[in-house]
Structure 1
């Protein structure tokens, strides 16, 4: 399965190209339909249940399922059962190998587009601390610049509002990591981090991702189809906390993997209507150093959502 689109952005003399031709995409056959999967707790091998193909593609997308021969199969197979067991073990669920109610409840939440397993290695922490991803990063530095793609269009938020919300997310990391600074600059190939809003896979599903080895050095993509809100009261249908998601993606830029702890900013799932970034901020994350070169070791070229 391939993502059959090319995002082409021309900014003055800067040509910014994302060629998305190889990475498996759930949007092609309804990533959003993952929310319609029904839980089952007593499936037998060989059972054919509508929706299992969507579950199979989801687990493949997230790195748990390696089957690329028949991703459209609705048959309950041993490899699908095994992938479910790994996912359940990762997130401290009952390890049943079944798409039971707790498992389906988590899987159907909107999530980050960075997989939990990259090149066979899990990037998910096993406790309260964040796991440092041990790929080399080009951003092993203290002073960062970030810029906004000029054509960004965010539903429900004015340009000033979404820029202020993003700035608050960077400020949060400055407080968490003493000595790191983030300064807004114009979008250019000299920026360390770019902020881009564009359609990813329709509403919900994947709501944001981070890509390295690009121009700027890292680009944070946020799904423009979502009902993003800043510090406003969440009154729209399926509102998502923009500040929380930006904090999460900045964490990837800084080298952090995913966290099992749902109160951590590095938890890959974002909960609809949860004003995560404005409640108990000191409980959102526990950032412990000392692993794999410390903050800034980073993801390097280990993963590209569009590649």
Structure 2
């Protein structure tokens, strides 16, 4: 009898302990444990022109996604040969992000490519938006030149003169608890520019900015890729679309090392909505990459870019 009772108690204790162990459900899995959406290029470290190695095709797809290659289709292009075009694309990428420009896939470049980022390409229609309009200015006649990192989209599109009051509309995919992050982001841009104002509208047809959360291919030509890859994208003026990846782990109103700060990402994408391209300055809001658990605000370089674009 005592033996049976002891056995029953042991079974109940074991069951209780098992219930305490987190499952591998979607609610408990963080972005750290998920595979890299951009692929794992670690095994390609040191790969260079003239070599053929399994996985180079994925590297080509990555660089093509962000404009460094100009492959309209996969036919004959996404092979594993490290050719002249790939070397040139690598050098441009490395130059844009102030890496050692070698054209070789080194460890520093691999680490950069693995980071989550904005989905807006760095090169659009063959124009390197990160290099097309660098500005130099004097801080003082006797001091060295400094370089402004802000850039614009090709052709410097902007909202028309006099169009300073922009309306935004949330589609049904936007969680209600996410909306305050968008409102705060728009208010910040309004405050620092003293030029734009933003207000919500319920009329989707007349709205200047349309906001939504989406998964995978959502019909705008820039598909999302699941947790930890492309976080969001904002379209240039006057297209006015702002989409966030619904599969990311977002935080609103607080920082968590495993979650992306929604307000920071929306601030960045609003910069695109106003006409800013990507910056090469790591501290700038318009820098393309953002890790989880990090918050940023509008920096002086970002503000100077808006002032230059709109002659404020």
CA radius of gyration, larger in:
2
Question: Does the C-alpha gap of structure 1 residues 142 and 44 become closer, same or farther in structure 2, counting only changes over 3 Å?
Answer: closer
Question: Does the C-alpha gap of structure 1 residues 225 and 59 become closer, same or farther in structure 2, counting only changes over 3 Å?
Answer: same
Aligned to 1:76: 82
Q: Does 1:259 align with 2:279?
A: yes
TM-score normalised according to structure 2 size:
0.73
Q: Which has the higher contact order (CA 8 A, sep 6+)?
A: 1
Aligned to 2:250: 228
Alignment of 1:104-123 (within 5 A): 104-123=110-129
Q: Does 1:52 align with 2:56?
A: yes
Aligned to 1:38: 42
Question: Does the C-alpha gap of structure 1 residues 169 and 293 become closer, same or farther in structure 2, counting only changes over 3 Å?
Answer: closer
Q: Does 1:173 align with 2:189?
A: yes
**2:52 touches 2:80 (CA, 8 Å); kept in 1?**
yes
**CA distance in 1 between partners of 2:301 and 2:59 (Å):** 29
Which runs of 5 or more structure 2 residues have no equivalent in the other structure? Answer: 1-34, 135-146, 216-223
Alignment of 1:228-247 (within 5 A): 228-234=250-256, 237=258, 239-247=259-267
CA RMSD of aligned residues (A): 2.6
Q: Describe the superposition over 1:96-148 as per-residue Cα deviations: whole angstroms up to 9, x where unpaired.
A: 10111111111111111111111111111554331132244455521111111
How many residues align? The count is: 252
Aligned to 2:304: 287
Structure with more of its chain in strand, by fraction:
1
By how many angstroms is 1:95 displaced? 0.5
Task: Select 1:196's aligned residue among 205, 212, 220.
Answer: 212
**1:150 touches 1:187 (CA, 8 Å); kept in 2?**
no
Which runs of 5 or more structure 1 residues have no equivalent in the other structure? Answer: 1-30, 154-158, 296-307
Question: What secondary structure does 1:164 align onto?
Answer: helix
Question: Does the C-alpha gap of structure 1 residues 248 and 233 become closer, same or farther in structure 2, counting only changes over 3 Å?
Answer: closer
**CA distance in 1 between partners of 2:160 and 2:174 (Å):** 24
Task: Select 2:232's aligned residue among 208, 226, 249.
Answer: 208
